[in-house]
Amino acid sequence: MPLLTPQSIPCRETLSRREALKRIGGFTALLSGQIAGAAVARPLVKPHVLRPRAKRLILLVMNGGLSQIDSFDYKPALARYHGTPIPGLSPARRYTTGPLMQSPFAFRRYGPSGVAISELFPEIGSCAGEICFVHSVYTESACHESALRLLTSGSTASDASPLGASIAAALDTGNTNLPGFIRLCPQPSAMAASETTHRFPIDIAEFAGHIFDPRRESSATIRLYGEGPQARACLAAAQLIERGVRVVELHQSTGHPWDAHHEIRSHRRAAREIDLPFAALVRDLKSRGLLDETVILCASEFGRTPTAELSGSGRDHNPRGFTIWLAGSGIRDGSAYGATDELGLRAVENPVHLRDIHATILHLLGIDPARHTGSSPLKPAAPPSRVIHEILA
């Protein structure tokens, strides 16, 4: 496999962030006020339903490309090689590729697996006993638009149906008041001069009354999630799951909050938005008795390089080795699987494609991944994927 450099990852897309989100559907929902996936056609072939171990899925999308080596994939070798070129890099490439850069963040170990997690995520770290970290994920796209489509649908095709819509079409929700799949994308919105709240891509009140009304929750639950639009969105996800929605897909925000090309320390701001709310979601579902019935997948569309950008102290996109985490029903909690090389450049131990993650989730939901098909008759089936039995309880 050739060395990973910015030049070896082609990306010709030059869409604005707004347009890219329109195309993947998240911002379309915000603009149209409609439910993403509610009107998606049912699969052409009904997937074979197996005995399920989970009933629901929550997909937490850290859009923009979280740096794995600054979050969940500690690489002490980068301190030794800091400021030097990637080993084996040709002289010509050294003029276009920045030097290796150590993480500016401190790490500590959490949970029974002793996984090293950076100071950005102390709350998620405290939940490590409930989480399985997969450190060897890879994908084929280094462009936000197509990589986000692959993460949320399993395909880079522009007309691909969201994974959540396909799951909802395959499984009966048993709830006639709410759709089987809802996509949320909170964004700040001025409600009063001294108050900030958030908007969602749907008006859920027309389906189930005041489902997002925080007054329905105890003060302890409100404090558990903290403040801000991401906190309210995670609480809404818990409420939706509790009321029978099969799949909730939650994007951290509009734009690409993790896209740190110029300064990797900007990860601090993005992490503050979601560290407590994401951890609270795990804790809250467990307290409601729903974690044993729900799979949570938290992922970015790709990771970031161990090298610095030439223009500053940021990192470029890296689709060849990054970390995702899962929790909930059927997942081997307190564990870690796979590894990247010593620099965090590419997956080398037990590589896992994003489609393998999807196949594993479908398997847990009782859907045979080998017989699962999307709603478009014009697109060929996705490349074969496998269930990762090693991360299952």
* Non-local CB neighbours of 96 within 8 Å, separated by 6+ positions: 5, 6, 7, 310
Beta-carbon count within 10 A of 384 CB: 11
Nearest to 391 by CA among 136, 66, 68, 110: 136
| Residue 156 to residues 96, 159, 177, 368, Cα–Cα distance (Å) | 28, 9, 32, 21
CB 377 within 8 A of CB 158: no
Alpha-helical segments (H) within 97-157:
122-126, 144-153
pLDDT for 94: 58
In a domain, 15, yes or no: no
pLDDT for 217: 87
pLDDT for 161: 87
Lowest mean pLDDT among 35-44, 138-147, 311-320: 35-44
In a domain, 248, yes or no: yes
- Percent of all residues in the chain with a pLDDT value above 90, rounded to a whole number: 62
Q: Give the pairing of strands 322-328 and 131-138.
A: antiparallel
Q: Please give the average per-residue pLDDT across 236-251, as a whole number.
A: 93
Lowest mean pLDDT among 98-102, 125-129, 179-183, 281-285: 179-183
* Non-local CB neighbours of 228 within 8 Å, separated by 6+ positions: 196, 198, 273, 277
In a domain, 8, yes or no: no
Banded pLDDT at 192 (limits 50, 70, 90): very low
Helix 144-153 to helix 163-170 angle (10° resolution) is: 20
Residue 299 predicted with pLDDT over 50? yes
pLDDT digits (tens, 9 = 90+) for 46-66: 555 578 999 999 999 999 999
| Residue 296 to residues 90, 180, 200, 285, Cα–Cα distance (Å) | 42, 16, 20, 10
Give the H or E element holding residue 24. Answer: helix 17-24
Model pTM score = 0.85
pLDDT for 91: 63
pLDDT for 174: 63
Distance CA 76, CA 128 (A): 21
Q: Which domain holds residue 159?
A: 20-391
| Residue 113 to residues 155, 297, 337, Cα–Cα distance (Å) | 32, 19, 10
Nearest to 175 by CA among 104, 280, 270, 245: 245
In a domain, 320, yes or no: yes
pLDDT for 88: 77
In a domain, 9, yes or no: no
In a domain, 11, yes or no: no
Residue 241 predicted with pLDDT over 90? yes
CATH of the domain at 76: 3.40.720
Q: Please give the average per-residue pLDDT across 337-355, as a whole number.
A: 97
| Mean of the per-residue pLDDT values of the chain | 81
Beta-carbon count within 10 A of 87 CB: 10
Q: Please give the average per-residue pLDDT across 293-315, as a whole number.
A: 95
Amino acid at 284: D
pLDDT digits (tens, 9 = 90+) for 269-294: 999 999 999 999 999 999 999 999 99
Q: Please give the average per-residue pLDDT across 12-29, as a whole number.
A: 38
Give the H or E element holding residue 187. Answer: strand 187-192
Amino acid at 245: V
Per the model's pLDDT, the better-predicted residue between 282 and 37 turns out to be 282
Tokens of 276: 């407590």
Residue 13 predicted with pLDDT over 80? no
Q: Please give the average per-residue pLDDT across 229-242, as a whole number.
A: 93
Lowest mean pLDDT among 56-60, 214-218, 325-329, 346-350: 214-218
Per the model's pLDDT, the better-predicted residue between 154 and 176 turns out to be 154
Amino acid at 236: A
Distance CA 191, CA 312 (A): 37
Residue 210 predicted with pLDDT over 50? no
**Count of domains for the chain:** 1
pLDDT digits (tens, 9 = 90+) for 76-91: 999 999 999 888 776 6
Nearest to 246 by CA among 322, 328, 178: 178
Banded pLDDT at 199 (limits 50, 70, 90): very low
pLDDT digits (tens, 9 = 90+) for 161-176: 899 998 998 887 566 6
In a domain, 50, yes or no: yes
pLDDT for 215: 74
Lowest mean pLDDT among 28-42, 57-71, 103-117, 253-267: 28-42
* DSSP structure class, residue 216: G
CB 105 within 8 A of CB 119: yes
Mean pLDDT is highest, among 242-246, 355-359, 380-384, for: 355-359
In a domain, 10, yes or no: no
Mean pLDDT is highest, among 18-32, 194-208, 253-267, for: 253-267
C-alpha torsion 175→179→185→191, nearest 10: -70
pLDDT for 187: 74
| CB neighbour burial string for 312-347, b if at least 16 within 10 angstroms, e if fewer | ebbbbbbbbbbbbbbbbbbbbbbbbbbbbeebbbbb
CB 363 within 8 A of CB 50: yes
